[in-house]
Structure 1
Amino acid sequence: MCGIAGFISQHITPDAKRTLNAMLTRIHHRGPDECGLYLSDEACFGNVRLSIIDLASGQQPLCTPDGRFWIAYNGEVFNYPELKKDLESKGHVFRTNCDTEVVVHMYQEYGVACLNLLNGQFAFSIWDTHKKELFLARDRMGIRPLYYTRQKGEFVYGSEIKAIFEHPSVERKIDYRGLRQVYTFWTTLTPNTAFEDVFEVPPGHYALYSHGQLQIKPYWNFNFDKKVSLTIEDAVGEFRTLFKDALSLRMRADVPVAAYLSGGLDSTSTTAFIKQMFPEALNTFSIGFEEKDFDESDFQKEVADYFNTRHHSVSFKNDNVVDLFDKVIWHTEIPVLRSAPFPMYRLSKLVRDNGIKVVITGEGADEMLGGYNIFKETIIRHFWSRIPNSKIRPLLLKKLYPYMPQMQGAGNSMLKLFFGYKLQEKDSPAYSHLLRWNNTGRIVNHLSEDVKSLLNGEKLVDSYESQIKSRIDAYSPLNKAQYIESTIFMSGYLLSSQGDRVAMGNSVEGRYPFLDHRLIEFCNSLPDEFKLKGLNEKFLLKEVVKDVIPQSVLKRPKQAYRAPIAQALLNDKNGFVDDILNSSRVKSIGVFNSESIGSLLTKMRKSPTISEIDNMALMAMLSTQVLHEQYIGGFRYLKDSEVRQGVVRN
């Protein structure tokens, strides 16, 4: 795993090397092992490397033997040995044993079509010295980030936005429409970011930049267009074969590979199959919580003992949220509405402190196999909408949250008040998410009048629905919900703020077997009842692992991964919240209304119970303020290290 950065310009200045070094220095956490540069009259780019495959000779940037194609690469292509054999049969000659060289040769041989043959998680750039053309590509689900901007005649790109901001031609400005999207969807809608004129290469897309012209096109789409007819037994066998192969590919490394272990079904399943296929000692890592409502330590220990792993755990304290706040937001580069990234940052630090660079993790199973409560809510709300005055049907919603005491005491009226939003608008393509987005969207009420005026009453949900309606209208209610969750929340938040960004903040690479594209395509072809059988989530996965994992894990109710917000922030003895949200600081930045913030804090401190809506608003305010001060105010959070002098390779 690595970080890349670069720029294309018709006017490369004598300061180009220093600029490129500064860009790479900003993302040195993505690649603390090595640094390399390519400099020419038109293109300057480089790489910081986290050495995982071919430790001795995988330095970047590297080129094809004829010197035409140069690559800077972030990620892993797991099937590179098989691809390399195919290329060698066609006459390609290799100087290294790394996947980076395989990728650049694949592009030389197949052009854009090479992307369909890559199984991995990647973001890379290839410079064609003959055509003077830059090729950028990002993996199918957006596991690895890739950003770009076009300003003042320069095309600037990088693995993280902070690298782009080191280029002297790039202006740093907040995009208020991007913030508005975060305050509804929990993230921006691709290709937007929280910063003006800075965009991401969307998941499953490539970009060509040639002589000032930019083209961005998809090479893969997440969809439910193809369906298969097979028995549950056949589906179990096919899933098991695909999953074991996906895991086997992701265990390829020249360094030890560990696994996250949450104590839930997904991580327990990955651990079970790893132990089957690789019986040698396995390091597993878990995080527990000081707050018992969030803690799953007992389940984690049970699974670690069951599989006899070399287990490591750490307890996340409430005050860790404040301690890590600046650091986490520096890495996410976007406001967050939940505190979940903070424990994940702490967990990845535990991994790195134990000398490990690579972990297997279970993200993707919930999206592909109907695991989230939002999918069950959708089914229940559809059922309830047929008899909207029913006093019994809303009670089914209580089954989804056995770990939340306030839900267990809720009556029919309270459930109807909370879950009844647009209950009968079943024709909406975003029906599954209307309730969530309405609740999150209340953050907008706290914006300053200037920002509200700028946004001019923009109807984000209506606009999004019009964009996706024709694409997903024929899908089942479950598939529609899965599509939205996978294309917005998973890529924009789960794999970013809660995934790549906090893990790579500690120089740790996460690998996601459930997001192997073959497994995704197979799951998307299955009947709904193989995923969500009644209210039994991830039915197929449970059938696959029912004989290989502890029965207690198989039968326990799903517990969403959560982390403390108000408990951690409002009780901080050093006054973190009051300091960040004091009236003068809020007014100087101008995003939020200081009086509205004051009213919210008073309400939260007086109330015996704090709603999820208010918790999200508090996180939005704090993270936006911190983000603005870090990136717009002075562009300094981490103490600036000495600019790294990379190796020039052209």
Structure 2
Amino acid sequence: MCGIFAAMTRDGLPGDRCDQLKLLEHRGPDGTGTWTSRDGKWTLGHTRLSIIGLRNGSQPMTSPDGAVHVVVNGEFYGYREIRERLRSSGYRFSTDSDSEIALHLYDQRGMQAATQLRGEFAVVIADERQRAMFAIRDRFGVKPLYYTVVNGEVFFASEIKALLALGVPAAWDLEGAIGGMGRSHEITEFAGISTVPPGCYAIARDGQVRIHPYWDWKMPTAEQMAVDTRNEAEVVAEFREALRDAVRQRLVADVEVASYLSGGIDSCAVLGLAQQEMDRPIRAFTLTFDNALYDEASIAEAQAKHVGATFHPIPITGREIAESFADAVWHSETQMFNGHGVAKFLLSRAVRNAGIKVVFTGEGSDEMLGGYPYFRVDALNNDPSLRLGQRSALLDEMLGANAATRALMMPEQVDSAEMRAVQRRLGWLPATLNVAANQAKSVAPLFRDDLPASVREFQPLVSALDRLPLSQRIAGRDRLNQMLYVNAKTVMPNFILNFLADRMEMAHSIEGRVPFLDHHVADAAARVPVSMKVKGIREKHVLREATKDVLIPEVYDRQKHPFSTPPTRDANDPMIEFYRDTFASQAAKDQPIYDMAKVSTALDKLLDYPPDQRIAVEGNLQRVASVVVMQELFDMA
């Protein structure tokens, strides 16, 4: 994992390239490098976290003829086999790094090289012969990659802060800022700054950027699934082999590979499969809280012992979350609605202090297999085998089993113009999108009265759907699969893979490896029948069966408990002090979105809510606090 930036300017970059590299140093503290074209107009920059080819993998890398230059952030799996094929075709390698295959694949196949790359990556290629730069992002957007065009000059970077250091102005995109979880992934909260979408590459030439897809997640239609002749055992075996191979590939490193571990099936399954491949115990790190409803230490410890890993608890306090909130927002560059992102930030810091550079993580399983409660609601509502009474009983059971997060994950149905527009586009009302709609509805009363009407009336869910190929990827699919696809294009890259993954890990130079988002696993997951993704209210049935041999019974039988931090408990909670100080700051007065008098009133009422509802109400306050922090740290206009 590394940090990268690229610039295509008319007159060259002002100042020292070290300014931009310094802001990406947390992504790669083991070395830096730059390349600048002979005329000084093009620049590539790289900060390195050395994982493979420790002694000779410096970047940028340059082709033998000196015309093509590349910087890579991430890991390519199966690179050894690709390297041997390229060698047999006459290519010579000067490093042991996996990154070098990108340089030679591009020479051999042009932009078709993107389809040959497997893993979590962002790549920028500067081709002086073509007078163009090519930027490639991995299939699900595990690795970040931003770009902007300013006065005909094009800039790419791993993080927005590096773009700002390159001279891009920092200003709010108000539609992006209020868009919340459901906004289209191309949009950020910074005006004029976009993401290269997952599974796409960008071509920058003559001051313009064009986006082209090279891969998309293809869900079979309901008709195609109806003629699937595999039995359950065959489906389970196929999924297990895909996941096992993804885990095995991600054990390749020249440094120790550890694992994050919760009490949920996702990280437990990954740890169990990884430990089967190892002849030494894997170090497993677990967040712990002093609130029993949110603490999973006992289950995680039992799971680690069961598979032969070593258990390392990392206790997190409310004081630490309050003190680190601003740092986490600085690294995520987006709003947060729970302290779980800050907790992941603190976990990664502890793991780095333990001397670890690489960890397995369980992100992506819920998004592949329908793990979250709202996915299960959509699956239940579309199950023709259930009578109305059965469906209602199962929904009540699920609601009762999710006391920690039901206010966030299973809110009441929102009746709004936006949700009616969603229904017209899809032909039904998804519980999955209702979560984002409910968040938008609950935070809207805190908006400033002078927020432009065009912003108030913006419909981020509709905008996101209108940017997706609904007729190609949604029509004719089971409803659960429709929402898995939509979620993969919105919530997952916007938030899950940001402040619960890459940005919190890389804040402390930790490379997170995500087996569930290997595209071979994703293809296998797409072929899993809906009834084996969600069976009744039992989520991820196929994963339970595929990894049963490495799971303790408590994990195998446990219902999904989404990762979150405990809500504020009382008036002495450190987060209350953090909110009051943040909301009284000059930045709070300067930010253009929220009315701080309304926000202060909401804060005064926070503790009046019961704990199972307080987590959702506090989520709004954390969104406001994030905006204030961004206003100050990024000097937003």
Is the partner of 2:490 in helix, strand or coil? helix
Which residue of 586, 589, 611 maps to 1:587?
589
Cα deviation, residue 24, structure 1: 1.0
Distance change >3 Å, CA 26–CA 600, structure 1 → 2: same
Cα deviation, residue 222, structure 1: 1.7
Which residue of 473, 476, 491 maps to 2:475?
473
- TM-score, normalization: structure 1? 0.90
Aligned residue number for residue 620 of structure 1: 623
1:6-28 Cα offsets, whole Å, 9 max, x none, are 21112115x45x0x211111110
Amino acid paired to 1:418 = E
Aligned residue number for residue 19 of structure 2: 22
Q: Is the 8 A contact 2:4 2:72 kept in 1?
A: yes
Distance change >3 Å, CA 545–CA 391, structure 1 → 2: closer
CA distance in 1, matches of 2:275, 2:570: 37
Superposed, which structure 2 residues align to 1:371-390 within 5 Å? 371-382=371-382
Is the partner of 1:495 in helix, strand or coil? helix
Distance change >3 Å, CA 430–CA 158, structure 1 → 2: farther
The aligned length equals 620
Aligned residue number for residue 174 of structure 1: 172
Aligned residue number for residue 646 of structure 1: none
Distance change >3 Å, CA 159–CA 464, structure 1 → 2: closer
Q: Is the 8 A contact 2:258 2:358 kept in 1?
A: yes
Is the partner of 2:107 in helix, strand or coil? helix
- TM-score, normalization: structure 2? 0.92
CA distance in 2, matches of 1:107, 1:530: 40
Superposed, which structure 2 residues align to 1:127-166 within 5 Å? 127-166=126-165
Cα deviation, residue 509, structure 1: 0.4
CA distance in 2, matches of 1:402, 1:391: 17
Aligned residue number for residue 418 of structure 1: 412
Which residue of 504, 518, 521 maps to 2:520?
518
Distance change >3 Å, CA 496–CA 506, structure 1 → 2: same
Distance change >3 Å, CA 72–CA 467, structure 1 → 2: closer
Which residue of 194, 198, 204 maps to 1:203?
198
Q: Is the 8 A contact 1:570 1:577 kept in 2?
A: no
1:514-552 Cα offsets, whole Å, 9 max, x none, are 111011012112211121122221111111122332122
CA distance in 2, matches of 1:445, 1:581: 16
Cα deviation, residue 454, structure 1: 4.6
Amino acid paired to 2:544 = K
* Alignment partner of 1:236 is 2:236: yes
Aligned residue number for residue 598 of structure 2: 596
Which residue of 595, 605, 608 maps to 1:606?
608
CA distance in 2, matches of 1:247, 1:406: 30
Which residue of 26, 31, 41 maps to 1:34?
31
Is the partner of 1:363 in helix, strand or coil? coil
CA distance in 1, matches of 2:215, 2:570: 41
Is the partner of 1:540 in helix, strand or coil? helix
What is the percentage of aligned positions where both structures have the same residue?
30
CA distance in 1, matches of 2:60, 2:463: 42
Q: Is the 8 A contact 1:75 1:123 kept in 2?
A: yes
CA distance in 2, matches of 1:407, 1:284: 25
Distance change >3 Å, CA 461–CA 93, structure 1 → 2: closer
1:325-345 Cα offsets, whole Å, 9 max, x none, are 111000010111121111111
Is the partner of 2:539 in helix, strand or coil? coil
Is the partner of 2:535 in helix, strand or coil? coil
Amino acid paired to 2:153 = E
* Alignment partner of 1:319 is 2:319: yes
1:398-429 Cα offsets, whole Å, 9 max, x none, are 32244545999x9xxxx999358689969546
Q: Is the 8 A contact 1:394 1:416 kept in 2?
A: no
Q: Is the 8 A contact 1:39 1:45 kept in 2?
A: yes
Aligned residue number for residue 396 of structure 1: 394
Distance change >3 Å, CA 162–CA 215, structure 1 → 2: same
Cα deviation, residue 281, structure 1: 2.1
Cα deviation, residue 213, structure 1: 3.0
Amino acid paired to 2:171 = K
Cα deviation, residue 632, structure 1: 1.9
Aligned residue number for residue 263 of structure 2: 263
Cα deviation, residue 380, structure 1: 3.6
Superposed, which structure 2 residues align to 1:322-361 within 5 Å? 322-361=322-361
Amino acid paired to 1:297 = A
Aligned residue number for residue 88 of structure 1: 87
Cα deviation, residue 466, structure 1: 4.3
Distance change >3 Å, CA 84–CA 417, structure 1 → 2: closer
Aligned residue number for residue 273 of structure 2: 273
Is the partner of 1:37 in helix, strand or coil? strand
In structure 2, runs of 5+ residues without a counterpart are none
Superposed, which structure 2 residues align to 1:437-516 within 5 Å? 437-442=436-441, 443-468=443-468, 469-471=470-472, 472-516=474-518
Aligned residue number for residue 4 of structure 1: 4
Q: Is the 8 A contact 2:590 2:631 kept in 1?
A: no
Is the partner of 1:52 in helix, strand or coil? coil
CA distance in 2, matches of 1:369, 1:531: 5
Amino acid paired to 2:326 = D
Q: Is the 8 A contact 1:293 1:403 kept in 2?
A: no
Is the partner of 1:203 in helix, strand or coil? coil
Amino acid paired to 1:363 = E
Decide which moves more: 615-624 or 224-233.
224-233
Aligned residue number for residue 253 of structure 2: 253
Is the partner of 1:615 in helix, strand or coil? helix
CA distance in 2, matches of 1:233, 1:152: 58
Decide which moves more: 505-514 or 274-283.
274-283
**Cα RMSD over matched residues?**
2.7
CA distance in 2, matches of 1:633, 1:523: 41
Is the partner of 2:634 in helix, strand or coil? helix
Aligned residue number for residue 638 of structure 1: none
Q: Is the 8 A contact 1:398 1:407 kept in 2?
A: no
Decide which moves more: 150-159 or 455-464.
455-464
Q: Is the 8 A contact 2:152 2:206 kept in 1?
A: no
CA distance in 1, matches of 2:404, 2:166: 50
Q: Is the 8 A contact 2:534 2:540 kept in 1?
A: yes
CA distance in 2, matches of 1:47, 1:569: 46
Q: Is the 8 A contact 2:307 2:550 kept in 1?
A: no
Q: Is the 8 A contact 1:62 1:71 kept in 2?
A: yes
Cα deviation, residue 569, structure 1: 8.8
CA distance in 1, matches of 2:200, 2:601: 44
